[in-house]
Amino acid sequence: MTFLPRFSRTGALPAAALAGLVALAPGSADPHPHVWIDTVVKPQFVGGMVTAFEIDWTFDDLYSFLVIDDFDSNKNGTLDPDELAALAKASRDTLGLTDYFTRITLDGERLRNLNFENLTATSFLERISYHFVIKLEAPVDPRTQNLTFATYDENYYIEILLNEQDPVRFEGDWPRACRYEIGRDEVNRIYFDLVAPTIVTFPCPTS
C-alpha cells in the first residue's frame, strides 16, 4: 500500500504509519481516506505553452499535528526553519517513489519523464503546507494538444482535494482563450472501481 507516512525526525526512513489510524485492509469495500490534502494547481505558461505546474498542498489538522509533533525536535510547539527543512527532505525522499501522487497525460498518454523540484515545507496556523514544482520534459501547447492533470492516491488512503475557492490558477503568458474544466476520470477509476478521481482539463477554443 502506498501512503504518505509519518516520518521519523532523522529524515532517513518513514516511521510507523499515522498514530491511531489503521490503514485500509485489502479487500475493504468502504472508501475511507485517513489523510486529506487541499490542493492548488498553477500551470506555468511561457509563450502560450505549459512548461510546468506549481503545486500547493495544505494538510488536514490531524496530520499536521502529528507531523509537527514528530519534527519539533526542540519541543517549542512549532517547526523552526531547520525542522521544516528536515521535513521537506524526508518528504522528497518518499514522495519521489510515488510521482508525488500526480498523473499528467498528453493526448491520452501518461507523461513519465517529469521532474519534481524545489519541495519546501511551511507551517502556518498549525497547518503544514508543501510547495513544489513539476517540470514537463518539453513545453505543451494546450491549443493543439490534449493536456490533463490529476492528483490522487490510488489506494485512497489519502484524499487529495482541489481547493474550493481557487483550485486552478494560470500563471505566466497563457492564451486568453484557454480555461480549465474540472471533472471526473471515469476511465481510470480507483479503489476497487468505486472512486472516479478528479481530473483537470485545459480546453483552448481556437474559434
Residue found under cell 519534481 = 116
More confident: 119 or 20:
119
Residue found under cell 496556523 = 125
Q: Above pLDDT 70, what percent of the chain?
A: 84
- In terms of Cβ atoms closer than 10 Å to its own Cβ (0-12, 13-18, 19+), residue 48 is middle
pLDDT (tens digit per residue) in 163-181 = 999 999 999 999 999 999 9
- Residue 171 sits at φ, ψ, to 5 deg, of -135, 145
- Residue 127: strand pairing partners: 124
- In terms of Cβ atoms closer than 10 Å to its own Cβ (0-12, 13-18, 19+), residue 200 is buried
Dist CA 132 CA 113 (whole Å): 16
* Buried-state track 15-33, b at ≥16 Cβ within 10 A, e below 16: eebbeeeeebeeeeeeeeb
pTM (predicted TM-score): 0.84
Is 175 within 8 Å of 43 (Cβ atoms)? no
For range 191-199, the mean pLDDT: 92
Cell, residue 58? 495544505
pLDDT (tens digit per residue) in 126-172 = 899 999 999 999 999 999 999 999 999 998 889 999 999 999 999 99
pLDDT at site 9:
36
pLDDT beyond 50 at 21: no
Which residues, other chains included, contact 118 with Cβ-Cβ below 8 Å and sequence gap of 6+? Answer: 131, 132, 133
| 81-95 vs 61-71: helix crossing angle, rounded to 10 | 110
Local structure of 53: helix, strand or coil:
strand
